[in-house]
Structures are given as structure tokens and as C-alpha cells.
């Protein structure tokens, strides 16, 4: 039996801890350890989960030990014991570790908070898995970009896309971020158009013609997008619905059947059947799908805390040339309980 791939995870916050849980659910990989900067409640969770903790420096090790938290070593020790590292540090911090990974000759996965130039390729499982195969460094794009790419690459198979316009209504902060986000305001983000999300989409599929705009609202649960896609040819609504129904990692939500009409209800429903109420799927509101000749518009919802997790698992396999595209997607989704019948 082949030994499991040893995955180091640098950062154990919103995304890092979810990636760690997802890695340990797979048959072909295991978390070799995580890198933590602070001895907080997430560190205690790691201990309870049987995950070894490493720190940035020897000084940080002493801080942990004073709190009664045992540390195995530093990030340098962890890298030597691992086959690949997933960098889940805060936005912009991954750049400071790029040279460390390169010097140690270890493959690396970065997150969408980093600039596209940090890695050999920006990644989405449905769009460019094959192009990422064997790449030394891969950047998994942001939650919003992941959501956009899933619907775009799915619907481009129905008919050739000519133009996309998307308005993103973004959550103000993740639930645990008590010092962030607007309280009584809708913030233009950014004021200048288009927003950066269009460029991020093009970092994965450079051929697409897309414009995006974004606002930030005082909620913590999910993002919502209003997407308008113009196709080269006239389209049929049932073709759009069938494509979304058959695509991996997309839930086509029928509000009439489920009586779900809000992000709060999506998360509440997910909590009944899924770990922490995570929604790894993109949620497209079926009743919002509207067709006008060669144009479709619809609403979709993105759970910012978890949608990129399966992409990270696939990126590990792509980088290390472990599995083909749909084999990896199938393995990941089965182990994470990603399906079409949540609602």
C-alpha cells in the first residue's frame, strides 16, 4: 500500500483548520503538522484532534509551552518531514514564506489573498486542473473567485460565453472576526470599477470577458453574487439548469421546495447535516435563473469559510501528480460529503 502524502499546513485559522480536517479525511494524505503563531483556542482544538503543532521560531515555542501546549518544533522542522505545504496564513503573509518553501524544495499551495504572481499557476478544480498538474507552486483563488469560476466554467460548456457582468455583495467579516466589518453601512469595495475579482477570474481563465463590482454589507454568513452571462448563441433555460445540476460542487437550490430564501437559512440548514455548517458547494438559486435570448442571469451564494477547501485538496493532488481531474474531485467530494441533496 502506498504511503500517505504528508501535508504541512502553515496557518490554522478560518481556512487552515478546515483544510487540515479535510486532508485527514482523505485516504491518500495526512496532516504532518500545523504551524501556529499564537497559543489560542485553535491550538487547543488541534491538540484534541491529534494534530502536531509547530511554531515559527524557538521564541514562539516557549510562549506555547508556558501555556501548557506542547510543540514538536519549528516550521523548518515540519517542512523537512513533509511532502507539500499548504500556506493558509493571512492575506499577504504567504509571500514572506515563498522563499523558505523554494529553498527547501517543497511544493506549495497558496491562498487567494496572495498576488497571482506568487505561484506558477492560479487554480480552480473545474477550470484548469490539468494545467496545474505537476506545478511546483499553486495558488487557490479566493472564495468569491472560486464561486464565479464554478458557474462560469460549467455554463461555458452549454454555449460559448461572450461577456460576464457580476455584482458581488460581500460579507463584512468572518463570524469570529470581532474587530472587522461595517456595522451600519454598505461600503463600496472598491469605489473604482471594475473590482479586483474580474482580474482574479482572468488569472485562471484569461480568455474570459468579465466585469465585476462589489459592495460590503454588515453580515458574517455568506457572499451573494448577481451574475449576468451573455452567450454567443441563443440558449434554453433547461440546458442551463441541467448543466448546473450535473456539475460537481454546485447546489441548485429550489426555494419553493426548500422554503430557503436567505443565506441565514442556508447556513442553518447546513448545520443540521454538515460539520460546523460548512457549505463547500456553490449555491445557485434555481428560481432566480432568467433567460432572455442569449443572456442568463441568476443569484448565487458563496460560503466564504469553506468553499475553497475542496480546491485545496485537489491542488495537492494536482501538484504532486497523484490523481486525474475527475478522480480527484470524486475522491474529495465523497470524503467531504459534498452532494446535491443537502436542501
| Residues 34 and 183 occupy one common structural domain | no
**Do the domain assignments include residue 342?**
no
Instruction: State the DSSP string of 192-250.
Output: SSS-HHHHHHHTT-TT--EEEEEEEES-SS-EEEEEEEEESS---HHHHHHHHHHSTTE
Q: For residue 271, give the H/E element and its range.
A: helix 263-273
pLDDT of 189 higher than 80: no
Whether 188 maps to a domain, the answer reads yes
Residue 343 lies in a domain: no
Q: Residues 219, 279: one domain?
A: yes
Q: What is the pLDDT of residue 343?
A: 52
Q: What is the CATH number of the domain that holds 293?
A: 3.30.360.10
Quick check: 22 pLDDT over 60? Answer: yes
Residue 202 lies in a domain: yes
CA distances from 156 to 107, 127, 153, 164, 243 (A): 31, 10, 5, 11, 10
At residue 1, does pLDDT exceed 50?
Answer: no
Q: Is residue 171 one of the residues assigned to a domain?
A: yes
Domain co-membership, 327 together with 294: no
Q: Is residue 125 part of a domain?
A: yes
Span 240-288, pLDDT tens digits: 999 999 999 999 999 888 899 999 999 999 998 887 889 999 999 999 9
143 is catalytic: yes
Would 174 be classed as within a structural domain? yes
Q: Are residues 157 and 115 in the same domain?
A: no
Q: Are residues 17 and 164 in the same domain?
A: no
Please tell me which residue in 143, 213, 251, 283 is annotated as part of the active site.
143
Lowest mean pLDDT among 7-21, 118-132, 172-186: 172-186
169 and 33 belong to one structural domain: no
Overall average pLDDT of the 170-185 stretch: 91
Does residue 263 share a domain with residue 244? Answer: yes
Residue 261: per-residue pLDDT = 92
| pLDDT (mean) for 308-336 | 98
Q: What is the spatial distance between Cα 58 and Cα 37, in angstroms, rounded to a whole number?
A: 11
Are 105 and 240 in the same domain?
Answer: no
Which CATH number belongs to the domain containing residue 100 in this structure? 3.40.50.720
Residue 21 contacts by C-beta under 8 Å, 6 or more apart in sequence? Answer: 49, 275
Query: What total number of domains does the chain contain?
Result: 2
315 and 298 share a domain?
Answer: no
Instruction: Please report whether residue 294 resides in a domain.
Output: yes
Domain holding 166, by residue range, is: 143-302
Shared-domain flag, residues 52 and 27? yes
Instruction: Report pLDDT digits (tens) over 147-169.
Output: 999 999 999 999 999 999 999 99
Whether residue 277 is found in the same domain as residue 330: no
Residues 94 and 164 reside in one and the same domain: no
Asked if residue 44 has pLDDT above 50, the reply is: yes
Amino acid at each position: 500500500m502506498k504511503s500517505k502524502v504528508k501535508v504541512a499546513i502553515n496557518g490554522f485559522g478560518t481556512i487552515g483548520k478546515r483544510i487540515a480536517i479535510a486532508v485527514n479525511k482523505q485516504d491518500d494524505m495526512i496532516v504532518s503538522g500545523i504551524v501556529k503563531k499564537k497559543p489560542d483556542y485553535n491550538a487547543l482544538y488541534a491538540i484534541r484532534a491529534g494534530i502536531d503543532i509547530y511554531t515559527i521560531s524557538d521564541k514562539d515555542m516557549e510562549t506555547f509551552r508556558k501555556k501548557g501546549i506542547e510543540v514538536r518544533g519549528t516550521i523548518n522542522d515540519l517542512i523537512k518531514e513533509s511532502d507539500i505545504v499548504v500556506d493558509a496564513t493571512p492575506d499577504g503573509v504567504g509571500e514572506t514564506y515563498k522563499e523558505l518553501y523554494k529553498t527547501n524544495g517543497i511544493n506549495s499551495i497558496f491562498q487567494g489573498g496572495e498576488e497571482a504572481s506568487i505561484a506558477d499557476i492560479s487554480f480552480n478544480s473545474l477550470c484548469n486542473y490539468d494545467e496545474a498538474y505537476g506545478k511546483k507552486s499553486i495558488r487557490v483563488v479566493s472564495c468569491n473567485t472560486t464561486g464565479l469560476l464554478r458557474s462560469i466554467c460549467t455554463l461555458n460548456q452549454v454555449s460559448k460565453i461572450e461577456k460576464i457582468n457580476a455584482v458581488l455583495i460581500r460579507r463584512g467579516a468572518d463570524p469570529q472576526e470581532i474587530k472587522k466589518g461595517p456595522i451600519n453601512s454598505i461600503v463600496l469595495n472598491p469605489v473604482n470599477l471594475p473590482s479586483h475579482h474580474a482580474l482574479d477570474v482572468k488569472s485562471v481563465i484569461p480568455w474570459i470577458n468579465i466585469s465585476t463590482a462589489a459592495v460590503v454589507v454588515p453580515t458574517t454568513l455568506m457572499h451573494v453574487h448577481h451574475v449576468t452571462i451573455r452567450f454567443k448563441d441563443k440558449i434554453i433555460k433547461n440546458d442551463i439548469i441541467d448543466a448546473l445540476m450535473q456539475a460537481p460542487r454546485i447546489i441548485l437550490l429550489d426555494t419553493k421546495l426548500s422554503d430557503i430564501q436567505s443565506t441565514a437559512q442556508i447556513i442553518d440548514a447546513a448545520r443540521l447535516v454538515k460539520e460546523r455548517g460548512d457549505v463547500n458547494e456553490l449555491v445557485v438559486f434555481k428560481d432566480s435563473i432568467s433567460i432572455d435570448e442569449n443572456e442568463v442571469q441568476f443569484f448565487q451564494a458563496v460560503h466564504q469559510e469553506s468553499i475553497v477547501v475542496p480546491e485545496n485538496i485537489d491542488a495537492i493532488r494536482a501538484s504532486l501528480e497523484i490523481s486525474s481531474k475527475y478522480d480527484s474531485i470524486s475522491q474529495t467530494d465523497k470524503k467531504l460529503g459534498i452532494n446535491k441533496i443537502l436542501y
